[in-house]
Structure 1
Amino acid sequence: MARIKLPEIFQNGMIVQRNKKIKIWGEALETERVTISFCGDSISAEVCDGKFYCEIPAKEAACGQKIEIFTDGKKEPELTLEDVLIGDIYIAAGQSNMEYFLRYDAHWNEIKDWKRNDMIRMFNCRRIAYPGQVRELPDCGSWFKEHDYQWESFSAPGYCFARAIQPEIDVPVGIIGCNWGGTPACAWMDSSNLTEEPLSVFMKEYEDALQCADIDEIKQKSLEAWAYEDSYMHQIAWRAMMYGMNQQDQEQWMKENAGAPVLPMGPYHHYRPSGLYELMLKELAPFPVRGVLWYQGESDAGHGEIYDQTFSSLIRCWRDLWQDELPFLFVQLAPFGKWLDIDGRDYPVVRESQERVADNVPGTGMISIMDLGMYEDIHPKQKKEVGERLALLARGLIYGEDILCESPAFMEGEREGNWIRLRFSHTGNRLYIKGDTIKSLCIRQNGIPREIKELRLDQDLRILLDPLTEEPVEIEFAKEGYCEVNLFNEADLPAKPFTAVIEQGGI
């Protein structure tokens, strides 16, 4: 009897991407040919070395379909997938702020009472760090709906994106969670992207970590650490941390967990270069999708000055793997002060690199969440807003709606007597502030802070400095690791960080 084995992404209740060729592949034993029937098309493929690959013509959005797989011309299907939807699929990728479970979101008590939208389906890729790793991951490896048991531990930004975009585009929406807390971008890239400077630094650091290491000792310590990581005791302790703790409680938490097994860098670590690209991403490709939602960069703060090159290379790597110019919508790092034993002092450099990617890499867009940060937590709790802003950006950049979907960005400034006029893009009809004065705005002349006498806001920002002397005016906005941005455009999107030097003739 023939046996068919498909990748986990192919299951009952799944979504396939509309308006793109539908790619189906898998293993087939004791048969020479498979025929796949879907939405009126029947496409056959030969089985070579126990594997098959098939492409079905693109379809329009639909619900309630089924995929049937036949072997050797038999009339009855060997395998049937039921309740298949056709719509738009996005990969929700990155590290812990994308992985961040829905149950930890500030709006969870509101969200969990929402009426179920059966046009939304979700899937979590298995988080596997090394070949042969066995983990009990009940919330991974299956398609599910709102209010199913996997739902509360799904990506909060990914789900809230789906919830916001689905009614607007009126087709089924699928979100595939392919993310893992703490992971640097290099873990999600093919090794061929890490051979030349400056990105070769990631391979060099990995090789340096292994240079004097004992491989047997690394294996033993890694297995102990993974057993602890997957233990019920650790999961309960970590859940308390993710809900949020003040600095004092965090210090106590670190003392109580100081003796926990530590995962050493090496071939069993999920942070190692290219590891998750090989074990998670390549398991998913080339399953067609509409685009990628990306929230990552915290773990690259140590190399923030090259993050634009790192992230640009990652985007090219993923597009090459899918053979598709996938849109990438991503999140600029939120303000952050201190959490556990790390801090946000290097975040401004990463944010600048992220802006360079948005400005220079086609098919990308960035949302700002500079109003949502938390000083004592690297994980802002308002992920609903993150998902909604990504959805707004998708409506404008991917679906072509004529809407205000981007944050205000500084363009130019000029002097007008004792006034400084700052012009921004993406303002809509007005800029406004929440509160009495603009926060995180620093103005200097000759290195000396200047007092702002008056502010006026319309589509521009006008600042009175009385008297305004001839020296260049140096302006910094939201350039700290942690800050509170309260300057918004008409769509309630916060202004992006910027620096400017305004000479006598303006800039």
Structure 2
Amino acid sequence: MSSLRLDGIYTDKMVIPANKNFHISGHAIPKSEVCVEVLNHVYRTVADDMGTWKVRIVLEDKITCDIKITNLAETITLHDVKSGKVILLTGQSNIEFKFRDDSEYQSQIDDLNLNNTYFYNVPQVEYQSDELTLPKDLKTSTWQIANKETLWEMSDIGYWIAKKMHELNPKETIGIIDCYKGGTSISSWVPESVLTSSQELINRFIKPFEKATTNKTQEDYDQEFAEYNALVEKHNVDLAKFQKENPDVSLSDAKDKVGHTPWPPPMTPTSYLRPSGLFHTMIEQVKNYSFNKVVWYQGENDADNPEVYGIMLRGLILSWRELFQDFSIPFLVVQLPGYFDEPENAWPKIRQHQLEASQRINDVHLVSIADTGEKHNIHPTHKRIAGTRIGEILSDQSYSSTPIVYRQQILNDKLVLSVSSVSTLVQKDDAYFLVKQNNQWKKREIRTVGKVIVLDDCHGIEKIRYAYDNYPTCTLFNELGAPVAPFEMEIEKNE
């Protein structure tokens, strides 16, 4: 067996960020020298006591080249390495949703116009007992060029992102790194230091895990899974029966009648849903790589804990920046789409935390897709709008975020809200706020003037809400069709 090996993400055809330092890392014989040769430059380092090594590469120009790594008598050569714009896509099922399942897949493949795009799917390791040893049955990944033969494996949103970026800059090389896992809470994606940072997080995530996995035998787990699987089977039978009896009813409406697939499954010590699990098994797989930007699309599985989502999201962003040793890497946070079947106001609360993260943390940008989604289908097969909108922002050729209300003023008893990322607001249908006065919520019409929103007669208003529903109606957009982000806002008293 070879002593020299690279971490999994370093393969032929990889894309590295243009004009940005990057690292190559792997394992070798402990205390031995490792040399990395790039464009006639040689970088040297020495493996540590565990054999781990990492080399920092400094390049100022765009490149296409081979990279040679040497350790003692062994050599590994990476072929066809290119520089470009590298995006890390992360989150749960809606960003994991494969392009092959998109309603437009076949028409896009038949008329494909996508060049200079490559992608890498981070292996979905659910559990590993040794950080140096990956599961034996794990399917390895390599960087692939995005074409008709490979695109079926790519993130659906990732495809639409790349398509828009390619349209806006056809000569730029794009590298998409897919790192996601469906059905997951944000608690699976953060390190233990975040989860133990407050007693509230310990009570919500750590203690329930300990209770579910302490003093149980394998027979106990087998029984729990048998009961869970029986519930899933009953749901599938009931759904199939309903669809057969009602062939004209959509899947979304059918699930509204029958119910949704039971989730989550029982917790075990090795479940990928465990606290901090995927931070170690997936995010740490790419900790030494470099990215231009990170896209985070998640929140669906935290509808039961929306109050603490803001703490968790902040912890995720800051801990990842520390892990990547890139403290200013931009994050694009995707504000959840519409979906009705959740506890009342669960998704609006999460959207509010996503909005506030973009306002309070440096280099965090919001991409709202609250005007998309299906009422009773958590996995819509139409991802064009979401991916295109993210791609526009990633391309750095338009606004850096969704339109956001960033300032309030009271002028002559009128509430005036200033909106960013807009030249002229566009109002679709009747636009209104929910307004809280005398501890009661009422609908009030609003109007737009240029890039501001105006609410007349604002005396005594305590709080306002816009599009504050699980399945909202968005009526305010910028001139490019991007929605004003749903929000809730306290109104400052005008002394």
Q: TM-score, normalised by structure 1?
A: 0.81
User: How many angstroms does 1:2 deviate by?
Assistant: 5.5
User: How many angstroms does 1:414 deviate by?
Assistant: 3.8
User: How many angstroms does 1:176 deviate by?
Assistant: 0.9
**1:423 pairs with one of 408, 417, 424:** 417
User: Within 5 A, what are the aligned runs for 1:22-421?
Assistant: 22-28=22-28, 32-48=32-48, 51-60=51-60, 62=62, 64-72=64-72, 78-131=75-128, 141-166=141-166, 168=168, 170-197=171-198, 198-201=200-203, 202-215=205-218, 217-218=220-221, 245-249=251-255, 263-325=265-327, 326-338=329-341, 342=342, 345-396=345-396, 403=399, 405-409=401-405, 411-412=407-408, 414=410, 420=414
Q: Does the C-alpha gap of structure 1 residues 320 and 482 become closer, same or farther in structure 2, counting only changes over 3 Å? A: same
For residues 227 and 288 of structure 2, the distance between their equivalents in structure 1, rounded to whole angstroms, comes to: 34
Amino acid at match of 2:424: R
Asked if 2 retains the 8 angstrom alpha-carbon contact of 1:45 and 1:52, the reply is no
For residues 192 and 28 of structure 1, the distance between their equivalents in structure 2, rounded to whole angstroms, comes to: 30
Deviations, residues 44-97 of structure 1 (Å, cap 9, x unaligned)? 33345572524243224545411122343x6xx732221111122121011112
Asked if 2 retains the 8 angstrom alpha-carbon contact of 1:21 and 1:55, the reply is no
Which residue does 1:18 correspond to in 2? 18
User: How many angstroms does 1:487 deviate by?
Assistant: 1.2
Q: Does the C-alpha gap of structure 1 residues 433 and 43 become closer, same or farther in structure 2, counting only changes over 3 Å? A: same
Q: Does 2:460 align with 1:458?
A: no
User: How many angstroms does 1:474 deviate by?
Assistant: 5.7
For residues 279 and 343 of structure 2, the distance between their equivalents in structure 1, rounded to whole angstroms, comes to: 27
For residues 188 and 448 of structure 1, the distance between their equivalents in structure 2, rounded to whole angstroms, comes to: 37
For residues 318 and 80 of structure 2, the distance between their equivalents in structure 1, rounded to whole angstroms, comes to: 34
For residues 332 and 469 of structure 1, the distance between their equivalents in structure 2, rounded to whole angstroms, comes to: 28
For residues 9 and 65 of structure 1, the distance between their equivalents in structure 2, rounded to whole angstroms, comes to: 17
Deviations, residues 127-169 of structure 1 (Å, cap 9, x unaligned)? 121227858776x612112225442232222332233234546
Asked if 2 retains the 8 angstrom alpha-carbon contact of 1:263 and 1:269, the reply is no
Q: Does the C-alpha gap of structure 1 residues 52 and 458 become closer, same or farther in structure 2, counting only changes over 3 Å? A: closer
For structure 1, the 5+ residue unaligned runs are none
Asked if 2 retains the 8 angstrom alpha-carbon contact of 1:129 and 1:270, the reply is yes
Deviations, residues 250-291 of structure 1 (Å, cap 9, x unaligned)? 65586xx78xx9842021211101111111111221112222
For residues 376 and 136 of structure 2, the distance between their equivalents in structure 1, rounded to whole angstroms, comes to: 32
User: How many angstroms does 1:216 deviate by?
Assistant: 5.4
SS of 1:69 mapped into structure 2: strand
- Over aligned residue pairs, what C-alpha RMSD do you find? 3.7
Q: Does 2:433 align with 1:441?
A: yes
**1:482 pairs with one of 446, 464, 471:** 471
Moved more, 112-121 or 318-327: 112-121
**1:498 pairs with one of 468, 472, 487:** 487
For residues 450 and 8 of structure 1, the distance between their equivalents in structure 2, rounded to whole angstroms, comes to: 54
SS of 1:378 mapped into structure 2: coil
Asked if 1 retains the 8 angstrom alpha-carbon contact of 2:112 and 2:148, the reply is no
SS of 1:305 mapped into structure 2: helix
Amino acid at match of 2:151: W
User: How many angstroms does 1:496 deviate by?
Assistant: 1.8
For residues 181 and 480 of structure 2, the distance between their equivalents in structure 1, rounded to whole angstroms, comes to: 31
User: How many angstroms does 1:224 deviate by?
Assistant: 12
For residues 352 and 211 of structure 2, the distance between their equivalents in structure 1, rounded to whole angstroms, comes to: 29
Asked if 2 retains the 8 angstrom alpha-carbon contact of 1:221 and 1:262, the reply is no
Q: Does the C-alpha gap of structure 1 residues 127 and 490 become closer, same or farther in structure 2, counting only changes over 3 Å? A: same
Asked if 1 retains the 8 angstrom alpha-carbon contact of 2:99 and 2:153, the reply is yes
Deviations, residues 173-201 of structure 1 (Å, cap 9, x unaligned)? 21111110111112111112222313223
Moved more, 142-151 or 279-288: 142-151
Amino acid at match of 1:82: H
For structure 2, the 5+ residue unaligned runs are 244-249
Task: Report percent identity of matched pairs.
Answer: 24
Asked if 2 retains the 8 angstrom alpha-carbon contact of 1:23 and 1:55, the reply is yes
SS of 1:288 mapped into structure 2: coil
SS of 2:366 mapped into structure 1: strand
Asked if 2 retains the 8 angstrom alpha-carbon contact of 1:443 and 1:474, the reply is yes
For residues 365 and 458 of structure 2, the distance between their equivalents in structure 1, rounded to whole angstroms, comes to: 39
Amino acid at match of 1:409: V
SS of 1:157 mapped into structure 2: helix
For residues 267 and 302 of structure 1, the distance between their equivalents in structure 2, rounded to whole angstroms, comes to: 21
For residues 275 and 474 of structure 1, the distance between their equivalents in structure 2, rounded to whole angstroms, comes to: 39
Q: Does the C-alpha gap of structure 1 residues 352 and 444 become closer, same or farther in structure 2, counting only changes over 3 Å? A: closer
Amino acid at match of 2:267: M
Asked if 2 retains the 8 angstrom alpha-carbon contact of 1:91 and 1:289, the reply is yes
Asked if 2 retains the 8 angstrom alpha-carbon contact of 1:92 and 1:178, the reply is yes
Which residue does 2:246 correspond to in 1? none
Asked if 2 retains the 8 angstrom alpha-carbon contact of 1:432 and 1:457, the reply is no
For residues 221 and 308 of structure 1, the distance between their equivalents in structure 2, rounded to whole angstroms, comes to: 32
Q: Does the C-alpha gap of structure 1 residues 488 and 24 become closer, same or farther in structure 2, counting only changes over 3 Å? A: same
SS of 2:280 mapped into structure 1: helix
Moved more, 370-379 or 125-134: 125-134
Asked if 1 retains the 8 angstrom alpha-carbon contact of 2:188 and 2:276, the reply is yes
For residues 9 and 225 of structure 1, the distance between their equivalents in structure 2, rounded to whole angstroms, comes to: 36
Asked if 1 retains the 8 angstrom alpha-carbon contact of 2:37 and 2:43, the reply is yes
Amino acid at match of 1:371: D
* Alignment: residue pair count: 471
SS of 2:77 mapped into structure 1: strand
Q: TM-score, normalised by structure 2?
A: 0.82
Q: Does the C-alpha gap of structure 1 residues 225 and 20 become closer, same or farther in structure 2, counting only changes over 3 Å? A: farther
Amino acid at match of 2:408: E
